[in-house]
């Protein structure tokens, strides 16, 4: 099973980079399929207090996968928050990884500076790619663009 197949059933499941799967909240079965497809790390942008269908940290521990939680909270978007997301992505670049939130909206906002600063995309291409994976919030888009512009 490919990484794309493993994540395809999750909300907004996508493969924006060959090693990076993005999605809304995956199920335990989707995490297991992703592990079987080679995923070793899951980066979760949801706040720990958000209701979830599974105990993600415990599920991933049972599957032998690394769990990284970087809560991205609308209305409280900061540079340190973005830097934690970018650090996690950079540390796991080129290793099969899942980046998710509840719907992939936050995923899209957080990926904009990664696409621009690390992948060399132009701003519009980065926004288009972020929207293709689930970005729907102007606030999250501006957070990503502002960060990328200030760190270019």
Tell me what the pLDDT averaged over the chain comes to: 96
Q: How confident is the model at residue 8 (pLDDT cuts 50, 70, 90)?
A: confident
Query: Domain 3-151 maps to which CATH number in 1.10.260.40, 3.30.450.20, 3.90.190.10, 3.30.1240.10?
Result: 3.90.190.10
Mean pLDDT on 107-127: 98
Q: How confident is the model at residue 99 (pLDDT cuts 50, 70, 90)?
A: very high
Q: In the chain, pLDDT over 90 holds for what percent of residues?
A: 92
Contact 113, 151 (CB under 8 A): yes
In the predicted model, is pLDDT for residue 1 greater than 90?
no
Q: How confident is the model at residue 148 (pLDDT cuts 50, 70, 90)?
A: very high
Q: Burial code of 51-71, b = ≥16 C-beta within 10 A, e = fewer?
A: eeeeebeebbeebebbbbebb
- pLDDT for 133: 97
- Taken in order 70, 63, 103, 129, the sign of the CA dihedral is positive
In this structure, the dihedral spanned by the alpha carbons of residues 72, 75, 79 and 84, taken in order and rounded to 10 degrees, is: -10
Number of C-beta neighbours around residue 121 at 10 A: 19
Give strand ranges (E) for 26-142.
41-44, 66-69, 97-100
- pLDDT for 74: 86
d(C-alpha 42, C-alpha 115), whole Å: 19
What global pTM score does this model have? 0.97
Annotated domain spans of the chain: 3-151
Best CA proximity match to 58, nearest among 81, 31, 96, 39? 31
In the predicted model, is pLDDT for residue 64 greater than 90?
yes
- pLDDT for 45: 98
Cβ partners under 8 Å of residue 123, min gap 6: 116, 145, 148
In the predicted model, is pLDDT for residue 128 greater than 90?
yes
Contact 112, 145 (CB under 8 A): yes
- Taken in order 123, 124, 129, 134, the sign of the CA dihedral is positive
Looking from the CA of 98 toward its CB, the CA atoms found within 13 Å total 39
């Amino acid at each position: 099973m490919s990484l794309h197949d493993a994540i395809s059933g999750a909300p907004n499941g996508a493969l924006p980079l060959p090693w990076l799967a993005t999605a809304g909240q995956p199920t335990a079965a989707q995490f297991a399929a992703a592990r079987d497809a080679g995923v070793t790390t899951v980066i979760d942008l949801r706040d720990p207090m958000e209701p979830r269908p599974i105990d993600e940290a415990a599920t991933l521990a049972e599957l032998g996968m690394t769990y990284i939680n970087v809560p991205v909270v609308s209305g409280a978007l900061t540079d340190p928050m973005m830097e934690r997301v970018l650090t996690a992505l950079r540390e796991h670049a080129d290793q099969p990884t899942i980046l998710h939130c509840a719907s992939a909206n936050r995923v899209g906002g957080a990926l904009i500076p990664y696409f621009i600063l690390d992948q060399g995309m132009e701003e519009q291409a980065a926004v288009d790619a972020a929207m293709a994976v689930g970005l729907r919030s102007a606030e999250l888009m501006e957070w990503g663009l502002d960060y990328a512009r200030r760190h270019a």
